[in-house]
Amino acid sequence: MTADHGPTRLLLLVQALLWFAAAAASALLVYWLYVDPAYGMPWSAETGAVLFALVGIFAAAGCLSSLRDMVHSSADRRVRG
């Protein structure tokens, strides 16, 4: 691995960690809104839980995509060059 590939892989890893943090925060919000509501069941709890579940799924997909790009980008560069 050359020195110019390191920052790219590091940025992809940071991006994956940020996606993971978004997915974890969304999962916590779903738990707080729907599974164990702290303030009872207000009218927006179910809608909010569904919204944050979708955001969590999107964030998990982004995390996996960033990790895949990180792994495959280093393999592509080794083959090419």
Residue 80 in this model has a pLDDT that exceeds 60:
no
Residue 61 in this model has a pLDDT that exceeds 90:
yes
Residue 52: Cβ within 10 Å count = 21
Residue 76 in this model has a pLDDT that exceeds 60:
no
- What Å distances lie between residue 69 and 22, 28, 56, 65, CA to CA? 19, 27, 20, 6
Collapse the DSSP code of 4 into the 3-class scheme (helix H, G, I; strand E, B; otherwise coil) and give the result. coil
Domain ranges of the chain: 6-80
For tokens 């995390």, name the residue: 63
SS3 content of the chain, % helix, strand, coil (to 5): 80, 0, 15
pLDDT tens column, 28-50 = 988 887 777 666 667 667 888 88
